Amino acid sequence: MKGAFITATGTGVGKTWLASALATACVQRGKRVAAIKPIETGVDPDPVDALALARACGNDSLADAPGLYRAKEPLAPYAIEKRGGPSVGSLRALAKRIRELARDADYAIVEGVGGVLVPIDRERTIADLAALLDLQTVVVARNALGVLSYTLTAVEALRKRKISVRAIVLNHVERNHRDDLSRTSNADVLADCFPRIPILRVPRVQSPSDMVDAASQLLNILKI
Ligand SMILES: Nc1ncnc2c1ncn2[C@@H]1O[C@H](COP(=O)(O)OP(=O)(O)OP(=O)(O)O)[C@@H](O)[C@H]1O
Ligand SMILES: [Mg+2]
C-alpha cells in the first residue's frame, strides 16, 4: 500500500483539511485514492472527518465501512475505553482492514487521530498504527507560537519509534495572526532543526478546496 499517513502535533490543527485536499489533488491527477479515518471519536451521529475524506475521494461508503473504530465521546480511544466505551482492539486487524479498503486504490491517505501519541489503550498509541501501515508520515502543525516545541516533540517521538517524517506542514489555522511574530520565523527555525525534512507552509484559507494547490505540492514532495 502506497500513500500518506497524516498525523499532527495535536488535535484541530488541520489534518482533515489537508488530507481532504490531498485526496482531491490525487483525484485531479487521475489517481484512485482511498482516504480513510480508521479511528474517529466524537461521532455524534456522523463520522464527520471520515465523511469529508470519503467525499474528497468520491467514495462515501468508505466513511461507514465496517471494521473501523467509531465512538460517540470526543475523547482519546483509551479515555473512552476507561469509561466503559468500545476499545480499538487489534491494531494489526485495523491495519489489515485499511489495506483491504485501499486495495483497488493507487494511494491510501490515512488520517490519524489527535496528535502523534494519542493513547489507543494502556500500551499503544496512534504511532503504533502509523508504524504498522508504513506509509509516508506527514506531521501537520499549527503555524503559531509554541509550534517549535510541539513539532520537535512530535518528530522525536516518531523517530524513536523508527517512523521517519517525510514532510512537515505548517498550517495557518489561527485567525488573529498579526500579533504572532513567530509566524515569520517558525518555518526557518524548523528547517534548521530538520534539514532533511521538507517544510510546507499552508496559508489560511476558506475551505479545504483552497488547499489543493498546497496539497499538490505535497504530493510532489512525497512523489505521489
Ligand atoms: N489553512 C486553514 N485555514 C483556515 N482554517 C483552517 C485551516 N486549517 C484548518 N482550519 C480550521 O481548523 C479546523 C480544524 O481543522 P481540521 O478539522 O482539519 O483539524 P484536525 O487536525 O483534523 O482535527 P481533529 O484532531 O479533530 O481530527 C477546521 O475546521 C478549520 O476551521
Ligand atoms: Mg480531523
What residues of the chain score a pLDDT lower than 50?
A: none
pLDDT at 168: 98
139-173: pLDDT as tens digits: 999 999 999 999 999 999 999 999 999 999 999 99
Q: What residue owns the CA closest to ligand 1's atom 31?
A: 173
pLDDT at 177: 62
The C-alpha cell at 83 is 469509561
40-63: pLDDT as tens digits: 999 999 999 999 999 999 999 999
The one catalytic residue among 2, 15, 31, 37:
37
37 is an active site residue = yes
Q: Which residues line ligand 1 (CB under 6 A)?
A: 8, 11-17, 49, 114, 171-173, 202, 204-205
Atom of ligand 1 nearest to the CA of 19: 18
Q: What is the CATH number of domain 3-222?
A: 3.40.50.300
Atom of ligand 1 nearest to the CA of 13: 21
CA separation for the pair 8, 150 (Å, rounded)? 9
pLDDT at 178: 72
State which of 17, 41, 48, 206 you would mutate to test the pocket of ligand 1, scoring each by most atoms of that ligand within 8 A of its C-beta: 17
CA of 54 to the centre of ligand 1 (A): 17
Q: Is 10 helix (H, G, I), strand (E, B) or coil?
A: coil
Please, what sign has the CA dihedral across residues 133, 196, 35, 41? positive
**For ion ligand 2, residues whose CB falls within 5 Å:** 15-16, 49
Q: Inter-axis angle of helices 126-133 and 147-160, to 10 degrees?
A: 60
Q: Is 143 helix (H, G, I), strand (E, B) or coil?
A: coil
Considering the chain, what percentage of its residues have pLDDT values greater than 90?
97
Atom of ligand 1 nearest to the CA of 172: 1
Amino acid at 90: S
Assess whether the previous peptide bond of 45 is cis (omega < 30° from 0).
Answer: yes
State which of 9, 11, 13 you would mutate to test the pocket of ligand 1, scoring each by most atoms of that ligand within 8 A of its C-beta: 13
State which of 6, 9, 16, 113 you would mutate to test the pocket of ligand 1, scoring each by most atoms of that ligand within 8 A of its C-beta: 16
pLDDT at 78: 98
Atom of ligand 1 nearest to the CA of 40: 27
Amino acid at 43: V
